[in-house]
C-alpha cells in the first residue's frame, strides 16, 4: 500500500483527540524514516495519534490502550493476525510486524486484510533493522514531544522536524540536524539514503568511524570556525555521498551542525544561501530549549507583535534584541490565500491543511530572511506573517536632488528578497502566497505605520491572487478605492436611495441591471466594450442601461449622479 507521508509533519495538535504529549503517526513515520519501516495499511489514515510504544508478547493477549503503537515481536501468521485484531479492539493506533520466512508474501496479504478490517494501521520493519532500534527511535520521538509540551514552548516556532523538511525542500537534499555531540535531533524524509545517513538515523548519532574521517578531513574545525557552508565530496568506496554542512552557532559557541546529503537530484542553485539562513533559525530554536537562555524566540515574537501593534515603545525591543532604534526599518507582510468553504469533515481537514501550510510558510520565510539579514525578526499575527527588517542603511549611489527617503536604497533589495520568498513558497506549498513590502520609516518608532501600510497592500491584493508581490506604489489606486468603498459601507447616511431602489429591484425581479450598469460605467460609457465583458449584444446592454435609469430615477447625464452611483454600486457589486 503506497501511503504518501507528505513533505512536512503536521503539528502535534492535528492528530485528533488524545493526550497533548502524543504525536500523529505521520510525524512519527517521518521522524524514524522510511529506511526503518514501511506502511502496509492505513485504513484510518496516518494522522492517528500515537501516545506510547508497547511490546506484545505472542503468548499473551496484548495489553494495548488507545493511542498505543504495538510491536508484535516474534509473531507470525495466525498469531500475528489474532494479536493485531485484539490490539485494534483495545484502541491501538498502529501495529508493527517484521515479516520474514518463505510465507512472507502470504503473511503480508493476510495481515493487510486483517488490518483493513480492524481499522488499524499496519507497519512493517525492514529486515536489517533490529527491534530494539525501532523501540528506541519511537520512544525518542515521543519523549521529545513530551519534553516540548512540558517546556511550554508554544507552537510559534514549529519543531525541528518541520524545519528539517523545509531545509530539505529548499536545498533539494536529505537533511539531518545534530547537536554539538553529533547526536541526531531531527531529519527530513526522503529516499537515496547513503550508509552514513542510515547509520546516523538508526543510532541517533553519527557513527564514530565516519566522525573520525570527518575530523581528519578538517570538516569539524571549519564548521566550528564560523558561518561557512562546507562542501564534502562524494566517497563511493566509503558509502558517502556528496554533502553540504554548516555549523549552528550562538556567537562564538557552537551548538551543532546541519548536514545535507545529496539525493537523486543535484543540490538547488540557492542551497548554500538557504542553508546559511537555516543555521541561524536553528540556532534560535536550540537556544530556546536551554533554560539559561534569557531571551528566546517566544520573547522576540511577543515583543515584535507588541511593537507592530503599537502596544510598546521601540526602546523595549532594543533593550532585548540587538537592533538600533534610530536606524531606518520596514515591514514585509505575507498572507496565505484562504481555502473555500467545504463544510463538515472536509472543512476540518482544510483547516488542518491550511495550518500546516502556514507553519511551513513561516519556516520558509524565516530561513530566507535570516539569510538576508541576521537581525530580521519574524512573527505571526491574525493569520498573516510579518518580517521586521531593522537597521536599513543607505548605500552609496548617484546624487539626487532633495532629501533621500529612509531606507530607499534597501527597498529594492527587500523587494527582490520578497519576490524570491513568495516564489519559493508558491512552488513548495502549491498555494497563493502573497507578499507586501511596507515603506521604510526613519526609525523603529514609526514601524507600526510600515506594518499598517503592508496590511493595506495585502487587503488590496486579496482580490487578485495572481499578483505575488507589491508595494504601495503598485496598488495605490486599488487601496484608495477599497478604503473609500469601505467607508461608504460603514456610513449608512452616505447612501443614495435611488441606487438602493435599483439594487432592491434586481433582488426582487432576478434581473441584472446592477451588473450591467457597473460594466457600462467601468467602461466609461463604451457600450461595445462593456457588452463584450458581459457577453451580451450591445443593444441588450443599451436597453438595460435605459431600464436602470427608469427604475432608479438616476440621471446618468449628470456627472455627479453618475460618479456617486458608480461608487455606491461598486460597494454592492464591484468586488471591492
The 10s digit of each residue's pLDDT in 355-384 is 767 878 888 898 888 888 878 888 888 889
| Mean pLDDT in residue range 178-204 | 76
- The least confident of 60-74, 313-327, 434-448 is 313-327
- Which of the four pLDDT bands, split at 50, 70 and 90, describes residue 504? confident
Question: Are residue 471 and residue 380 in the same domain, yes or no?
Answer: yes
Question: Are residue 368 and residue 460 in the same domain, yes or no?
Answer: yes
Select the more confidently predicted residue: 291 or 556.
Answer: 556
- Is residue 423 predicted with pLDDT exceeding 60? yes
Return d(Cα 459, Cα 383) in angstroms, integer.
13
Percentage of the chain surpassing pLDDT 90? 19
Q: Residue 236's pLDDT is what? A: 86
- The least confident of 78-87, 143-152, 272-281, 491-500 is 143-152
| Mean pLDDT in residue range 245-254 | 81
Select the more confidently predicted residue: 296 or 99.
Answer: 99
SS (H, E, C) 329-344: EEEEEEEECCCCCCCH
Q: In this structure, what CATH number is given to the domain that contains residue 275?
A: 3.30.450.40
Question: Are residue 258 and residue 342 in the same domain, yes or no?
Answer: no
3-class secondary structure, 202: helix
Q: Which three cell numbers stand for residue 395?
A: 548605500
In a domain, residue 5? The reply is: no
- Is residue 45 predicted with pLDDT exceeding 90? no
Percentage of the chain surpassing pLDDT 70? 78
- Which of the four pLDDT bands, split at 50, 70 and 90, describes residue 475? confident
Q: Which residues pair with 186 in a beta bridge?
A: 177
Select the more confidently predicted residue: 443 or 324.
Answer: 443
Q: In this structure, what CATH number is given to the domain that contains residue 94?
A: 3.40.1390.20
Measured between alpha carbons, how far apart are the two ends of the chain, in Å? 48
- Is residue 296 predicted with pLDDT exceeding 90? no
- Which of the four pLDDT bands, split at 50, 70 and 90, describes residue 150? very low
- Is residue 18 predicted with pLDDT exceeding 80? no
| Mean pLDDT in residue range 537-561 | 88
The 10s digit of each residue's pLDDT in 284-295 is 777 665 533 333
- Which of the four pLDDT bands, split at 50, 70 and 90, describes residue 298? low
3-class secondary structure, 131: helix
| Mean pLDDT in residue range 388-396 | 71
Q: In this structure, what CATH number is given to the domain that contains residue 431?
A: 3.30.70.1230
Q: 322 burial class (0-12, 13-18, 19+ CB within 10 angstroms)?
A: exposed
In a domain, residue 6? The reply is: no
Average pLDDT, the chain: 78
Q: Which domain covers residue 70, as residue numbers?
A: 12-150
Question: Of 150, 178, 210, which marks where a domain is finished?
Answer: 150
- Is residue 142 predicted with pLDDT exceeding 80? no
- The least confident of 68-72, 170-174, 392-396 is 392-396
- The least confident of 35-39, 289-293, 319-323 is 289-293
Question: Of 446, 481, 516, which marks where a domain is finished?
Answer: 481
Q: Residue 444's pLDDT is what? A: 86
- Is residue 481 predicted with pLDDT exceeding 70? yes
Q: Residue 103's pLDDT is what? A: 42
In a domain, residue 1? The reply is: no
Select the more confidently predicted residue: 31 or 503.
Answer: 503
| Mean pLDDT in residue range 31-42 | 75
Q: Residue 338's pLDDT is what? A: 66
Question: Are residue 562 and residue 448 in the same domain, yes or no?
Answer: no
In a domain, residue 199? The reply is: yes
Question: Are residue 357 and residue 284 in the same domain, yes or no?
Answer: no
Return d(Cα 7, Cα 29) in angstroms, integer.
12
Q: Residue 319's pLDDT is what? A: 60
Q: Residue 249's pLDDT is what? A: 84
Q: Residue 327's pLDDT is what? A: 86
Question: Are residue 328 and residue 394 in the same domain, yes or no?
Answer: yes
Q: Residue 434's pLDDT is what? A: 93
Select the more confidently predicted residue: 304 or 425.
Answer: 425
- Is residue 333 predicted with pLDDT exceeding 90? yes
Question: Are residue 223 and residue 274 in the same domain, yes or no?
Answer: yes
Question: Of 221, 254, 288, which marks where a domain is finished?
Answer: 288
Q: DSSP string spanning 41-55?
A: E-TT-S--EE-EEEE
In a domain, residue 490? The reply is: no
Q: In this structure, what CATH number is given to the domain that contains residue 547?
A: 1.10.10.2840
Question: Are residue 312 and residue 389 in the same domain, yes or no?
Answer: yes
Radius of gyration, alpha carbons of the chain: 30
Q: DSSP string spanning 467-506?
A: --EE-HHHHHHHHHHHHHHHHHHH-TTS--HHHHHHHHHH
Question: Are residue 133 and residue 78 in the same domain, yes or no?
Answer: yes
**Structural domains in the chain (count):** 4
Which positions ≥6 away from 173 have C-beta within 8 Å?
190, 243, 244, 260, 261, 262, 263, 267, 271
In a domain, residue 7? The reply is: no
Question: Are residue 186 and residue 328 in the same domain, yes or no?
Answer: no
Q: Residue 511's pLDDT is what? A: 86
Return d(Cα 392, Cα 438) in angstroms, integer.
13
CA dihedral over 183, 361, 409, 306, signed as positive or negative: negative
| pTM given for the model | 0.52
Find, among 371, 393, 396, the residue nearest to 443 by Cα.
393
In a domain, residue 511? The reply is: yes
Q: Residue 230's pLDDT is what? A: 93
Question: Are residue 316 and residue 400 in the same domain, yes or no?
Answer: yes
DSSP code at position 11: P
- Which of the four pLDDT bands, split at 50, 70 and 90, describes residue 322? low
- The least confident of 149-153, 217-221, 493-497 is 149-153
Q: Residue 291's pLDDT is what? A: 36
Q: Residue 144's pLDDT is what? A: 58
Q: Residue 44's pLDDT is what? A: 87
Amino acid at each position: 500500500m503506497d501511503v504518501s507521508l507528505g513533505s512536512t509533519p503536521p503539528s502535534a495538535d492535528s492528530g485528533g483527540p488524545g493526550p497533548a504529549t502524543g504525536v500523529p503517526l505521520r510525524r512519527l513515520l517521518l521522524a524514524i524514516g522510511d529506511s526503518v519501516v514501511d506502511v502496509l495499511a492505513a485504513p484510518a489514515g496516518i494522522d492517528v495519534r500515537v501516545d506510547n510504544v508497547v511490546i506484545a508478547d505472542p503468548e499473551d493477549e496484548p495489553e494495548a490502550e488507545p493511542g498505543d503503537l504495538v510491536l508484535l515481536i516474534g509473531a507470525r501468521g495466525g498469531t500475528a493476525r489474532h494479536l493485531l485484531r485484539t490490539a485494534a479492539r483495545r484502541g491501538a493506533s498502529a501495529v508493527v510486524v517484521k515479516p520474514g520466512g518463505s510465507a512472507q508474501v502470504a503473511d503480508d496479504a493476510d495481515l493487510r486484510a486483517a488490518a483493513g478490517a480492524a481499522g488499524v494501521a499496519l507497519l512493517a520493519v525492514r529486515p536489517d533493522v533490529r527491534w530494539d532500534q525501532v523501540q528506541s527511535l519511537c520512544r525518542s520521538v515521543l519523549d521529545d514531544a513530551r519534553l516540548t509540551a512540558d517546556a511550554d514552548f508554544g507552537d510559534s516556532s514549529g519543531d525541528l522536524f518541520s524545519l528539517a523538511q523545509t531545509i530539505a525542500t529548499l536545498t533539494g537534499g536529505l537533511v539531518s540536524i545534530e547537536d554539538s555531540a553529533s547526536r541526531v535531533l531531527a531529519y527530513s524524509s526522503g529516499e537515496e539514503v547513503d550508509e552514513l545517513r542510515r547509520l546516523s538515523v538508526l543510532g541517533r548519532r553519527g557513527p564514530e568511524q565516519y566522525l573520525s574521517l570527518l575530523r581528519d578531513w578538517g570538516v569539524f574545525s571549519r564548521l566550528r570556525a564560523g558561518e561557512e557552508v562546507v562542501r564534502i565530496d562524494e566517497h563511493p568506496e566509503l558509502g558517502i555521498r556528496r554533502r553540504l554542512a554548516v555549523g549552528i552557532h550562538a556567537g562564538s559557541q557552537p551548538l551543532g551542525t546541519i548536514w545535507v546529503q545529496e539525493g537523486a537530484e543535484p543540490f538547488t542553485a540557492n542551497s548554500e544561501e538557504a542553508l546559511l539562513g537555516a543555521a541561524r533559525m536553528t540556532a534560535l530554536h536550540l537556544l530556546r530549549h536551554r533554560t539559561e537562555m534569557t531571551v528566546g524566540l517566544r520573547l522576540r515574537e511577543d515583543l515584535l507583535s507588541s511593537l507592530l501593534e503599537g502596544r510598546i515603545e521601540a526602546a523595549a525591543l532594543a533593550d532585548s534584541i540587538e537592533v538600533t532604534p534610530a536606524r531606518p526599518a520596514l515591514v514585509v507582510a505575507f498572507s496565505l490565500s484562504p481555502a473555500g468553504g467545504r463544510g463538515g469533515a472536509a472543512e476540518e481537514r482544510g483547516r488542518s491543511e491550511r495550518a500546516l501550510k502556514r507553519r511551513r510558510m513561516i519556516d520558509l520565510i524565516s530561513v530566507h530572511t535570516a539569510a538576508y539579514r541576521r537581525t530580521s525578526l519574524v512573527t505571526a499575527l491574525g493569520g498573516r506573517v510579518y518580517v521586521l527588517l531593522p537597521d536599513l542603511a543607505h548605500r552609496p549611489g548617484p546624487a539626487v536632488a532633495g532629501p533621500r527617503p529612509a531606507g530607499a536604497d534597501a527597498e529594492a533589495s527587500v523587494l527582490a528578497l520578497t519576490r524570491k520568498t513568495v516564489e519559493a513558497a508558491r512552488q513548495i506549498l502549491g498555494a497563493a502566497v502573497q507578499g507586501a513590502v511596507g515603506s521604510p520609516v526613519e526609525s523603529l518608532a514609526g514601524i507600526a505605520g510600515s506594518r499598517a501600510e503592508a496590511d493595506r497592500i495585502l487587503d488590496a491584493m486579496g482580490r487578485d491572487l495572481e499578483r505575488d508581490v507589491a508595494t504601495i506604489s503598485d496598488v495605490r489606486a486599488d487601496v484608495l478605492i477599497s478604503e473609500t468603498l469601505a467607508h461608504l459601507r460603514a456610513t449608512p447616511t452616505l447612501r443614495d436611495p435611488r441606487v438602493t431602489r435599483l439594487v432592491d429591484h434586481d433582488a426582487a425581479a432576478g434581473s441584472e441591471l446592477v451588473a450591467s450598469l457597473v460594466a457600462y460605467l467601468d467602461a466609461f460609457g463604451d457600450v461595445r466594450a462593456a457588452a463584450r465583458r458581459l457577453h451580451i449584444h450591445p443593444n441588450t446592454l443599451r436597453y438595460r442601461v435605459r431600464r436602470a435609469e427608469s427604475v432608479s430615477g438616476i440621471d446618468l447625464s449628470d456627472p455627479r449622479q453618475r460618479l456617486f452611483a458608480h461608487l455606491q454600486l461598486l460597494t454592492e457589486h464591484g468586488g471591492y
